[in-house]
Chain A
Amino acid sequence: MLAGHRTWEFDRKPVILAAGTVGGPFEAAGMLSDDFDILHEDLWIGQDSYEKAHRLLFEEACTKAIEKGGLQKEQVQFILGGDLINQITPTSLACRTIGAPYLGLFGACSTSMEGLALAAMIINGQGAKYVLTGASSHNAAVEKQFRYPTEYGGQKPPTSQWTITGAGAALLSSEGSGPRVTSATIGRVIDLGLTDPFNMGGAMAPAAVDTIEAHLTDRNIDPSYYDLIVTGDLGEIGHNISLDLFEKNNTPIQNTEYKDCGVMIYRKGQPVFSGGSGAGCSAVVAYGHLLNQMQKGEIKRMLVVATGALLSPLTYQQKESIPCIAHAVSIEAEGEESA
């Protein structure tokens, strides 16, 4: 089970039965619009607050995953999820509707893979047959939480990132057919003393590198084992910094395709600065676009590394630096996984 220091190898290989992804208007105009199950043309989604809209995003993603998996709501035994809002209320309120036993998670933007790793662990330990896991973020609600009012005229620097509006959920099962979750590496909190909340990519890059290298060492594999290693939301700047760090540590990342969800999701020309970010970012790209690619056979093995900045507006104002984390989960197409 435990491989190396902090990697779990799942010998029962939990199956991702189905996944649901929901996006907002900005994502609909992006590169991956075809890979969403539901797209909303309005940030409000017919609700009277952004927080309620945020809740609905997660609810819809979960409902879609359950429906695609051919299950009833009642069959879901556990649900694991989280978001970026105070006390993760959008997820908790959405889970009130779904009604399944619920574990709320906070890993900032790394929540998606934190949830997937734990869900796979539950299934692997025969703690359940069906577990639902997901993460979500809503641009306006998160901006309100962490930065300024949405309509406030503050100039953003080129290092800043655009919080995506979206939710992704995956339904895991102990049996059935579909992509398999084969291993997970849990990240450490890494803080290299960066304090600029408008440069998350730069702060998170070392955490992503640390987790990827730990994963490769623990499983004793080369990056070429994977067709794709994808980080959550480093953005262009963080991505380039991580490449520098890999080079410095002599990790042959060039042997595989190395990408970032935050860079993949939007089109060139959309005003997203360094790229997308948010808890929903890695969730929608991994559970939407990447699982679809795996289904088409374009990817056989991938490592998803969701990166999170564990700051709060309070710690920033009290001049704390930004603690960061990254969790990695490997997903392999059926029949492709190593014995």
Chain B
Amino acid sequence: MANNKKKNQSSAQQEYQALQKKRETKRPVLQNCIKAFLIGGLICAVGQAVQYFFIYFFNFTEQTAGNPTAGTMIFIAMLLTGFGVYDRIAQFAGAGSAVPLTGFGNAVISAAIEHRTEGFVLGVGGNMFKLAGSVILFGVFSAFIVATIKTLLTQWGGF
């Protein structure tokens, strides 16, 4: 589709876009990758520490500690979002703070805060999953497909 669009453009448009490209400040991709790697890793390390905390101080096993850990990380993300800190971390970290679970939490909570002024039902309820909705939809859908394939293979494939 993108190629199609290019073809439909006049020569003046193409010429200008080439000129514009030269002046455009590029995203510092390498620098962003390094920052994302460090901050993303840091968030995961905190998550790991929280998981060990639940295993050592409460009666959780490595399998069952996942849920309280996720809950704790989302709670921290919620506080940081509410205090207006998370978006600043994100400007620095980019994908590093967007990809982990905390990023998902931030997407839900920021939308909920933003639409509080439109009331609880139409505002918070209607808009909370504005950003995260597609993640849930396609996440559940791809999980379903993968699980179906696995079931087919193990049940009838004889593995």
Contact = CB atoms under 8 A, between A and B. Distances in A.
Interface stretch (B51-59, B68-76, B104-112, B150-158): B104-112
Contacts of A96: none
Interface string A153-170: 111111100000000000
A217 interface: no
B89 A159 contact: no
Contacts of B90: 152-155
A253 interface: no
Contacts of A193: 5, 9, 13-14, 16-17
A151 B23 contact: no
A48, A49, A152 interface centre (most CB from chain B within 10 Å): A152
A151 B91 contact: no
A202 B22 CA distance: 11
Q: State the majority secondary structure of interface residues on A.
A: loop
Interface in A139-193: 144, 148-159, 192-193
Contact of A151 (B87, B94, B97): B87
B134 interface: no
B94 A155 contact: yes
A151, A156, A274 interface centre (most CB from chain B within 10 Å): A151
A202 B91 contact: no
Interface of B: 1, 5, 9, 12-14, 16-17, 19-20, 23-28, 32, 81-82, 84, 86-87, 89-91, 93-95, 97-98, 103, 106-107, 109-111, 113-115, 117, 131
Interface of A: 48-51, 144, 148-159, 192-194, 199, 202, 205-206, 237, 240-241, 244-245, 248, 271, 274, 319
